[in-house]
Amino acid sequence: MAKKLSKAKNIHLIKRLTGTYLRRYLGQLAIAFFFMLVAAAATAAFAKLLQPVLDKGLIAVQNDRASLNEVWSLGAYIFIAFFVSGLATYIHVTKMAKISQSVVADIQQDVFGHFTGMDLSFFHFYPSGQLVSRIINDVNVMRVAVTDSLTGIGKNLFTLIFLIGVMLWQDWKLALFSMIIFPPAIIFIGLIGRRLRKVSRSMQAENATLMETLIGIFQGIRQVQAYGMETEEQQRAKHVVTNVRDLNIKAVKVGNLSTPMNEVLVGFIVAIIIIYGAHQIADGQLTPGKLISFIAAFSLAYEPMKRLAKLNNSLQIGLGAADRVLAMMDTPPKIKNLSGAKKLSAKSCKVKFENVSFSYEDEEERALNDVSITLNPRQVTALVGPSGSGKTTILNLIPRFYDPDKGKILINGQELRKTRLEDLREHIALVSQDITIFDDTVMANIGYGRKGATETDIEQAAKNAAAYDFIMEMPEGFQTRLGENGVKLSGGQKQRIAIARAMLRDAPILLLDEATSALDNESEKLIQETLAKLQKGKTTLVIAHRLSTIRVADKIIVLDKGQVIEQGTHDKLMEKEGMYRRLYERGLEE
């Protein structure tokens, strides 16, 4: 039963891969298969020509020198057969290489597109190394299943069929006898394929772990060196590298198990053919040329049979990788547009939370519990509270990085769940404490805030964010590449780039998550003045631990353990002598 299910799954995977990705290249595939057919026919023609070469040429020339003329003709035919085979092979190999690389690119684009559309919880579950491994390692292995195996199966199957035809033409009884090698070989190949499929899954998983490990070490190299953990990290990487090595060795061992068995079977068959052929020649039933032609056809047929066995192994490895990738492709995003989602177009936005509760996956305690708050247009609302009180969760729910478990969030009376996701996010500018700087130019990093922004717009945003001066001091100004995660920038410079990006976006809702936390006092003063201009006319939500940020807020909401404890202006909250006053007197920086 399990074997039937496995076979059915294989067929389903192959149909899905070929139907989705190879269908668009059917015209090019037809051309490639035509030249595979030509190359296979040329190989079979060579085996057939060996009979007249031996009988009418090499043996006949011993008795009649005039037969040399026929040898010239036969030599020319053999040359033509090799020339046609070589040319046809070159055409179909290059054609299939083009299809192969195109298919890989198509799959990688689809996988990447699917991943970027997933919600944040997906990225919390799968580390970046795992996802990169799916897109690069697994998809490249899938190429074998989709195209390389198809190419090899086509060429070798055609060659095998033509050569068997030559064998049947020369001596059909001997041909049928020699074919007893195929059934046991095919059974053995199937058994090996199933084992390789299991090894493949383990190989891809370990490759993903290796990539995840290395990315984590490189990203945290400052901490690794600062704490003197180089040796420990080398040992950790060595352990994973060793696992990958062992699995690759196992795959080679399993994949080549068929070789000794096939060699024994072929040796036995060839010995029988020679003995049988000698008796047939002695009885006048067979010529030396026919026997040599038959042996050549059998030997040439054995090669594509071996390659077909190895291609089955490659196919099984490829299907193992395909199974992993397609399983993730079949994972639907939790955050998506609902049927009938409405457009959102507003210059002023009122954001309202109505009895909102939310908890993260695998966490029993709620991050938010029955929260009801209102963020008014043209006002700055500040969220204050101890670490883990729910401030960042509120901020993350507004752009629908998550959806609440209970309750509603509305913009101008329109529920977020029923709003088109792309419209919602166009109305939001975000400056997070986890600043993302791409390995690109300063111009591209700031320009990320608005599609189609001009250089003038970007430069003006940089000036507004007090970033222009330090940018112009860089070697190539706005064309300077910032390195992975902005390695060339200080913490304050990163934040000013992020703020410039948000200023360029100029969205009606502004979300600031500790936007000035890494700035020195002088830079913070400049940014606060700029933020004051930026916040005019906008619905601004601020998470801040600095007193200077709190003072400018029109409304302060105090959170503790996912609940609203207090809310009001600074003066009113100070009069209450509650949690806000205690936090404020401690400087709020917790």
Higher-scoring residue by pLDDT: 380, 221 = 380
**How crowded is residue 331: how many other Cβ atoms within 10 Å of its Cβ?**
14
Three-state SS at 400? coil
Task: Supply the DSSP string of 231-243, one letter for each residue.
Answer: HHHHHHHHHHHHH
The counts of H helices and E strands in the chain are 23, 10
Distance of alpha carbon 290 from the chain centroid: 54
Taking alpha carbons only, the member of 589, 550, 528, 571 closest to residue 382 is: 550
Identify the CA nearest to 430 among candidates 552, 513, 338: 513
What secondary structure, in 3-state letters, does 540-575 show?
A: EEEECCCHHHHHCCCEEEEEECCEEEEEECHHHHHH
Q: Is the pLDDT of residue 533 over 50?
A: yes
How distant is the alpha carbon of residue 7 from its chain centre? 26
Sheet holding 379-384, edge to edge: 428-431, 509-513, 539-543, 379-384, 555-560, 563-568
Asked if residue 395 has pLDDT above 90, the reply is yes
| Six-digit token string for 23 | 């269908």
Residue 147 CB coordination number (10 Å): 27
Angle formed at CA 86 by CA 82 and CA 87, multiple of 5 degrees: 120
Instruction: At 108, list the tokens.
Output: 């990688």
Q: Is the pLDDT of residue 272 over 80?
A: no
Q: What confidence score (pLDDT) does residue 209 get?
A: 76
Do the Cβ atoms of 103 and 16 come closer than 8 Å? no
CB 504 within 8 A of CB 458: yes
* Residue 548 pLDDT > 70: no
Q: Which of 55-64, 332-341, 519-528 has the lowest mean pLDDT?
A: 55-64
Give the β-pairing of 539-543 and 368-375: unpaired
Question: For 32-43, how does the pLDDT look when each residue is reduced to its tens digit (9 = 90+)?
Answer: 889 988 988 888
**What local confidence, expressed as pLDDT, does residue 590 receive?**
47
Q: Does residue 269 carry a pLDDT above 80?
A: no
DSSP code string of 337-394: PPTTPBP---SS--EEEEEEEE--TT--S-SEEEEEEEE-TTEEEEEE-STTSSHHHH
Return the beta strands (E) in 412-508 as ranges.
414-415, 428-431
pLDDT score for 565: 93
User: In the structure, what pLDDT confidence band is assigned to residue 496 with cuts at 50, 70 and 90?
Assistant: confident
User: Is 415 strand, coil or helix?
Assistant: strand
Q: Average of pLDDT values for 137-142? A: 80
What residue has token string 């400052």? Answer: 222
Cβ contact 466:526 at 8 Å: yes
pLDDT at 419: 92
Binned at pLDDT 50, 70 and 90, residue 1 comes out as: very low
Set out the domains of the chain in order of their start, with CATH numbers.
15-329 (1.20.1560.10)
φ, ψ of residue 555 in degrees (nearest 5) = -145, 140
Q: What is the mean pLDDT of residues 402-427?
A: 92
Predicted pLDDT of residue 159? 78
pLDDT for position 56 = 65
Tokens 């040898």 found at: 71
Look at residue 508 and tell me whether its pLDDT is greater than 70. Answer: yes
Whether residue 312 contacts residue 255, with contact meaning beta carbons closer than 8 Å, is answered with no
pLDDT digits (tens, 9 = 90+) for 144-190: 666 666 667 777 778 778 777 877 777 777 777 666 666 666 666 65
210-220 pLDDT, tens per residue?
777 777 777 66
Residue 372, both tokens:
């009801």
Helix (H, G, I), strand (E, B) or coil at 481: strand
**75 or 468: which leads in pLDDT:** 468
Q: Which residue has the higher pLDDT, 253 or 105?
A: 105
pTM value surpassing 0.75: no
- 289-328 residue pLDDT tens: 777 777 777 777 777 776 776 676 677 777 778 888 888 8
Strand ranges (DSSP E) for 6-99? none
Judged against a pLDDT cut of 60, whether residue 460 lies above it is answered with yes
CA distance between the termini of the chain: 60
CB atoms within 10 A of CB 406: 14
